[in-house]
Structure 1
Amino acid sequence: ALDEAVERAERRRAEEALRESEERYTLAVQGARDGLWDWDLRSGGLYLSPRWKEMLGYDEHEIGAAPEEWLGRVHPNETDRLDAQLRAHLDGRTPHFEFEHRLRQRDGSYRWVLARGLAVGSGTDRAHRIAGSLTDISERKKAEEELLRNAFFDRLTNLPSRALFENRLDRALRIAGRRKDYTFAVLFLDIDRFKDVNDSLGHPAGDQLLAAFARKLEGFLRPGDTVARFGGDEFAMLLEDIRDEAHATMIADRILKGVSEPFPVGGHELMVTASIGLVLNSPAHDGAGAYLRSADAAMYRAKSLGRARLEVFDDKMHARSLELLTLEKDLRHALERSEFVLYYQPFVSLERGAITGCEALLRWIHPTRGLLLPGEFIPIAEETGLIVPIGEWVLHTACAQLQRWLGAGLPRLDLAVNLSARQFNHRDLGAVVTRALDESGLDPARLKLELTESMVMGYSPQTQRTIDFLKHLGIELSIDDFGTGYSSLAYLKRFPCTSLKIDRSFVQDVTTDPDDAAIATAIISLAHNLRMRVIAEGIETEGQRQFLERERCDEGQGFFFSRPVPADEFLLFVKRT
């Protein structure tokens, strides 16, 4: 009798444990809002859960139990790949089934979903059943498409970006290499005195002018030509398959005349002019970069000769190139002459208003040209490899400075330092970082290294080893300028980054542009779901700060709080705050 009582008690405990397990599973499925499917490969029956059908806009009884109910709704571009993925798993060639695809909804539109599944066999027999889940990933796909578009198109004008322009210029170079009768021209265009428009009418008027100017330029395109915005008021055009220089200059002259007509902007009729530099393909240029530099030099010559004119690149324009060479020579001696300084810009908690850290920003005090910003010399440093010793100096100097501040009683602050692609890929990076920490005595947890999206996405075993080593030291990694690179959200799961920065281009108009607001909100939500902190850069107004705080962005950076300032001014700023 005692044995029977024990057996009944154990059976009750087992049943209770099973019931609790089933409840946990049910709650997990309901919480995840995933659809479920179960395919009996022997009978051909396919179970689709109510949530599966609901995702596509159907009631529970409107879809039957045949495999065609699923497979027949797959987008035609993805049916073959879905079939291949299923077969690979059922044949035992993959450990599990996972495939992103589009399914046709009741209204005829398509929704992005992620199907996951696992096959079940019987002993050594072929799989007789496969079951899994279906997740709605349409919002993620929408965000990915938006981020990808931002990498190749300018958000203000909808023109191709520099990246896409260089891609098409590379293609033109390949065609020219195959066809001796193929000629192309590259034009650099700059709106004359554009700064006056911004200063007198404000940046919104300047943006309106840029958009209108872009539409005007598009009107001069022939089939196959490209016009792109490079940033600010700089534009570039690629004229493909032209007859000769006279043909190219004729098109450029028409552009000069066309853009000199008045532009209606903000209740004003703006009369603007443009300066254009032109270069034709020739053996003297060995790549896209060389053409862009030559067209840029020709454009600057047009500016210097009075603006509102066209200049064709020739040998006399090497002066600009010589100027860059001189700058490179000076750059090689800048370290030994102690001409570099660091400025610091604070990070501020949007919830508490407290300073949480700072970013170290490089400046060059040139002996004849004065204070130079990174954009004026970092590209040269990258190209020549000087960025490696310069970057090492930045890291050592910034770590030592923060340690001095902490030793003087400042609150615990984090320090962010940008890494360039060349630094990140250098084999000695780990040793450089270790040395900077050891010599300064700084706690590794206080150091944050900022990487760009393209650096993280350029995966290689060396990349992984570098990231693993930095994480082993206890250093935080952050994605800088998120949303401006060749974005794929998958890499965020793969790499152990603890924070990301929303690029200033998304912050600028969050209070006036619903699309920018939606993108910023989506990035914040995405990062938080991946347990990452979010910093918004480029905050300049109280309205932007309030919006980002409301959307639970963690920290902010920008002129609203403080411009980048020298070390002594930053110390005073922190003490005052």
Structure 2
Amino acid sequence: MAHVPDRPTHSSLVSEGDSILADTLRLSVSKHKIDEHFTLVWANRYYYDFIGYPKDEYEALFQNRPDLYFADNPEDFGVIAEHVTEALEKNTGGYECIAGLNVKGGHKWVKFVSTFLDEYVDGCQLSYTTMTDVTDLVEAQQHLEEANVELERLAFVDPVTKGFNQTRFDLTARRVIDQAELGAYALVALDLKKFKLLNEIQGTESGDMVLRFVYDRLRAHLDGDECVGRINADAFNVLMRDEGAQAMYERIDGMVQDINRFNVDAERPYFLSFTVGVYPIDDTSLPMTLVRDRANVARGSSKEASNARHFTCMFYSDVDRQNLLSEQDMENRMHGALERGEFVAYFQPKQLLADGSIGGAEALVRWIDPVRGLVPPDDFVPYFERNGFIINVDLCVFEQVCALLASWIEQGRQPVPISVNMSRAHLREQDFLTPYEKIRARYGVPASLIEFELTETLVFGDPETFKGVIDLLHARGYRCSLDDFGSGYSSLNVLKDVDIDTMKLDRAFFSAGDDAGQREWDVVESVVDLAKKLDLGTVAEGVEEPGQAARLRAIDCDMLQGYVFSRPVPVAEFEQMLFGE
């Protein structure tokens, strides 16, 4: 502690009034020399009560020297000494600080408030000090800080990789992009292919290990302000310097090859493959959600590309930009279009091959825009499936089907079964069938007149759920058909596991037209024979040539659906074909 010049000493170290006030408040009060020991020269009874040592014991053990008292926690004594020194240098006349204090039998956090007096002992100025127990306050603050650290971890740390989550990545990337020159960075979106399959085979614990490994390898290839984050599931985003398409492609290639280096000496290699999309950030005003959307649009395009290097990669283009603008336009118009009745059911008849009559029809949606005219379903259905609006459209078509069937019954006409499509988006809700049932009940239509067309990929990798959907539909009286049979690799397994009513042969079987060879027809005939053995109805889709229709009739296929018989038509035209009016 600092020394001051010798001054005359005062015979009275504390006034009687001060002592009475301190005792009334049960407050620890003491006077110390401002020397290297901070020597105690006087203390009231509550000073000793506060530290837990009686006066005689304190004097015997510590010789009235706080520096000896603090010998086992010198850091806290250093905190006090630092405040004393600063107060003397700045001539503030005193100090306040909080420091730890080991008391007899425990530990306290103490607030020290000290005033420098115009009193001197042995040439040293005196300090008048009070001590207040603030342990509860300090510990509460510590708990709050710990809670804040935990909240920050939850908010910014990915629980699987222990690295950046989407929030942390977006904040970091935003700062880097804003501080850089235009065109300096690109966002790379990577998606691990068939990761769900890996989770199912190896378990989620192994899956998490793979995600951590991928994250660590990606991060090892970055430097400077570049960063990586796991955005969700098996999707990663990387902010990389934009050094041109070729250079970026080579860097991404190096990352993927490094990730798969563990296969070099593996007896049974298991390569990790990725779809990759790159958006060179040419508009720094875009929010991170749109920056990511553009990279994901490019990544979606890369799914169709081929590459022998365990990844496919596409860069965001003007075509992608136009597609995004088109999708935004649809997003803006779709709700109003639904309210105005612009989504209309067209009907493609199914021809009974035995006698050429109409045995049913498939309801297909068309968007009749008052400005743009008839919008092809390929232009809007895929987008609606992605954003979930397909649920509204499916129910709209279902209601039109129910209304049509009800009108036929009311008019005494003989109805034919109508099939409708159901998107996988419906299955996100457990009670997905309830809206359908409410509509059907309102029109009083028998469920047996309606067939739901389901694709084998509707519940990919989860045959039990697929089976449960069909069982539920059957329980309510509906029929079920397996659409696009033969388009995937699991068709036979699906037939084995689920109780469908009708098999619809995929149009790919008939894409060659009359040029199809005998081998192709042998496959078709075998499928039809298998369906007969399973007591399933058969419908051939996409048939366009009369010769195909004749061969299908010869192998005893039940129905065909295709342009050779009829394109999808409006309801009035369909009724004319069906009832001859």
| TM-score for both structures, normalised by structure 1 | 0.48
Larger radius of gyration: 2
